[in-house]
Structure 1
């Protein structure tokens, strides 16, 4: 009888330990908010594809901190992440950020339902704008001019990879060196 109760107690302890182990594993693997915890530049997640603003203050990069591939913006002067409302979406993958002089404009690629799109994000208006809706074929490797007027990228519209230059027009608000830092009051402090 004593042997039977020891065996029963051992089985119960093993089940309890196994259950706690599974709970711990689930918590450790669950996605987290990229703005929670320390906002250091590098993290335990994959941080890649860095792009530095012309004034050297902002760094845009791709990270999987939130469980998805998102573009994050880091203020090197304040040493904190900057909120980018409406830029990242849970059902899309973002890649290849490029950033204007003071970080007002961010150009990047996003893949949504298998369609690759070239997008411009304005930190002042907090609105993304699809730029390649008139192009046939694929796009890759976008880059924005320091003032934010021109966007260059590679396009396969002619059956080969060509360089396209997109002029956003003379009436676009330029991101100039003496412009005030956009969104400096909208920083997110973890």
Structure 2
């Protein structure tokens, strides 16, 4: 892979990178490498009567927690308590469990399932959390993800992201498909499919829409599509190239990259495509914008200094629009994305012959390389900032991978067929009323 063949310079690289794939979609397969320095030992007892359901609860909860890299699963070894009074705490101490999850399921009329669970502290012999809900049978996986989120938050103090969704693009044969799936790769659904490239998906802050770039009209055009209705609108279809959409935190605007006035520069538009306003002014290529969580700044890639580097500039018209360079290590740093807390950003850094995911602290400017693969691209933070999703290549085929923000845990997410690119992690899902 030649260095000059990068999306920063030309969207034609999409055609070079996405080699021909096979013909069938498949669920993501997940492999986990490494683990956190300290893992919480947790035992998850199969819920009572879940074997009668079309989807068991405990395997999903266990897979979620293990995938985070922060938990070590303890084998229940034949013990099957389903109520707190049935728990013999010394048995679990002997097995090395620090936390214990027990629960039950009850099939009700009308295809409904009642679910209960308790999270217990083995050492203190006390209940940490309990929950009950009734869901349709087809929503059992979603319920399991919510349980995993509650366990994760109670034991780590951080918000769980197992109920979130991811978007990515799959190329199979001559077809490009923008897919949305649960964070664990299940329930993948096509948003749109074409025989021309689809790139740069970007979630709206409320998770109801996706902005993306489609080449269906033989040129890059930015669309916004509502996921529930599949209704979509071309919001940036100006003369020349329209690319790299990024939502403002309040969802009212998009930053886009246009060549409307010559060169590639960053513009601001309303979410419906109106109110065009130019943000960046340079003689170079300015692209790949990302808003800070408070909406005051954008970071972006530019070669205005001679090589691709990452810059920051204010969004407000009243502020000085001069851009501040943020990256100085190496001659190639691209694809920045703000962390959810706004204290750091992830990006792709070239070093040692590879293109790798990195993270940089905004206050200290310290850079931490997180991967050692050959060609990584499109990093995207989970909404809790703990994991970064990105695309990489294994044996010439594009797959999705994830790495913890401290670099200690890595995952490979792949399909049996197809070339996967352009991942974007969606926001926290709002409760359904």
Q: TM-score range by the shorter chain?
A: 0.5 to 0.7
Shift of 1:117: 1.6
**Are 1:88 and 2:257 counterparts?**
no
Runs of 4+ aligned residues of structure 1 deviating over 4 Å after TM superposition are none
**Are 1:115 and 2:310 counterparts?**
no
Seen in structure 2, the aligned counterparts of structure 1 residues 77 and 103 have a Cα distance that, compared at 3 Å, is farther
Shift of 1:94: 1.3
The higher-RCO structure (CA 8 Å, 6+ apart) is 1
Equivalent residue for 1:155, pick from 349, 369, 375: 349
- Counterpart CA distance in 1 for 2:290 and 2:251 is 13
Equivalent residue for 2:291, pick from 96, 99, 102: 99
- Superposition CA RMSD, Å: 2.5
- Counterpart CA distance in 2 for 1:77 and 1:88 is 24
TM-score (normalised: structure 1): 0.58
Contact residue 45 and residue 64 of structure 1 kept, 8 A: yes
**Are 1:169 and 2:363 counterparts?**
yes
Shift of 1:153: 0.5
- Please name the residue that 2:431 is paired with: none
Seen in structure 2, the aligned counterparts of structure 1 residues 78 and 156 have a Cα distance that, compared at 3 Å, is closer
Shift of 1:109: 0.8
Seen in structure 2, the aligned counterparts of structure 1 residues 127 and 113 have a Cα distance that, compared at 3 Å, is closer
Contact residue 99 and residue 146 of structure 1 kept, 8 A: no
- Please name the residue that 1:69 is paired with: 264
- Counterpart CA distance in 2 for 1:146 and 1:77 is 25
Unaligned runs of 5+ in 1: 1-39, 171-190
Seen in structure 2, the aligned counterparts of structure 1 residues 83 and 138 have a Cα distance that, compared at 3 Å, is closer
- Counterpart CA distance in 2 for 1:78 and 1:69 is 18
Seen in structure 2, the aligned counterparts of structure 1 residues 46 and 161 have a Cα distance that, compared at 3 Å, is closer
- Tell me which protein shows more strand as a share of its residues: 2
Shift of 1:102: 4.8
TM-score (normalised: structure 2): 0.27
Unaligned runs of 5+ in 2: 1-234, 365-433
- Counterpart CA distance in 2 for 1:57 and 1:101 is 14
Give the 3-state SS of the residue equivalent to 1:88 in structure 2. coil
- Please name the residue that 2:404 is paired with: none
